[in-house]
Amino acid sequence: MDNQVTEKVHCLIIGSGPAGYTAAIYAARANLKPVLYQGIQPGGQLTITTDVENYPGYPDGIQGPEMMVHFEKQAVRMGADIRYGLATRAELKGPKHQIEIDEEKWIEADCVIIATGASAKWLGLESEQRLNGHGVSACAVCDGFFFKNKEVAIIGAGDTACEEALYLSKLCTKVHMIVRKDEHGMRASKVMQDRVKNTANIQIYWNSITKEVLGENTVEGVKIMDTQTNVEKIIPISAFFVAIGHTPNSEIFKGWLNMDDAGYILTTPGTSKTNIEGVFAAGDVQDKTYRQAVTAAGSGCMAALDAERYLSEKFPE
């Protein structure tokens, strides 16, 4: 931390999705004077989502980016200090914790709420990115409803891909499931594989890779190739779901916080507490099961309440 400015704050929140902003709202109302850094993607994953119809309180639905503007405005109105900036390093030695911002400034905080989220893994196709939010999605539970009674495709071979394929099969007329390996190479548990195979309107394409998502402004089809025969095939669809996993944005906390093999921060069940006193985690960075805006917001509330209790005990006025 040599030659770098250090600013002292009471409560530091890192990340600006539903978890971060909700934590800021609660922390500000509790007079914790929270400072929130928005990170590389202000608003989080919801800023790349179009229609959100499953968040309570929006009977007509709302656009993801607009919803995040509402969250931010509410946090600001409550007194949260919202700033642009990316957390680039962490030293969580306690009882004061240090976080570096933009590789140029250190913040020293009495408590830290980590709400850095997770990033969906993508195939890396130009067409996939171009049509993201226009029929391409990384969340079937979020967006499947918009393609009711239509044909869709999903790519993936793990339990999540199977769960999402089964979810889609209840809404859509047909689900085309694209699996890179053969039956023996599928990562999903046996029970999930059997459920998918026994669902009449799910068709599995083994040994297949996605070459391109087709369509100008919306998804119209997908071109796949059988890797055994090199034969290409075009499947007409209305949506393309990518279910090849997420990467939690927890890299800078490695070596400090306990994590699972995938990098999700481990919290004490029923709380937002990490293994380090005064450090809390909320939202998708610690949740690989639900990954919904409403559950992220709920865990942001938990983190702020946990932080408030911790600070009142540790730093009584």
Q: Which residues are catalytic?
A: 139, 142-143
Rounded to whole angstroms, the Cα distance separating 226 from 128 reads 19
Q: Is 12 helix (H, G, I), strand (E, B) or coil?
A: strand
| Closest-CA residue to 7 (of 129, 105, 144) | 105
Rg (Cα) of the chain, in Å, rounded?
21
* 76, amino acid identity: V
Rounded to whole angstroms, the Cα distance separating 154 from 168 reads 9
The number of residues in the chain equals: 317
CB atoms under 10 Å from CB of 36, counted, come to 27
* 281, amino acid identity: A
Token duo for residue 217? 């402004």
What pairing do the DSSP bridges indicate for beta strands 232-236 and 221-226?
antiparallel
* 66, amino acid identity: E
* DSSP annotation of 293: H
Rounded to whole angstroms, the Cα distance separating 189 from 157 reads 10
Rounded to whole angstroms, the Cα distance separating 143 from 140 reads 5
Rounded to whole angstroms, the Cα distance separating 315 from 79 reads 21
Burial of 20 (0-12, 13-18, 19+ CB in 10 A): buried
Stated as kind and residue range, the H or E segment containing 257 is none
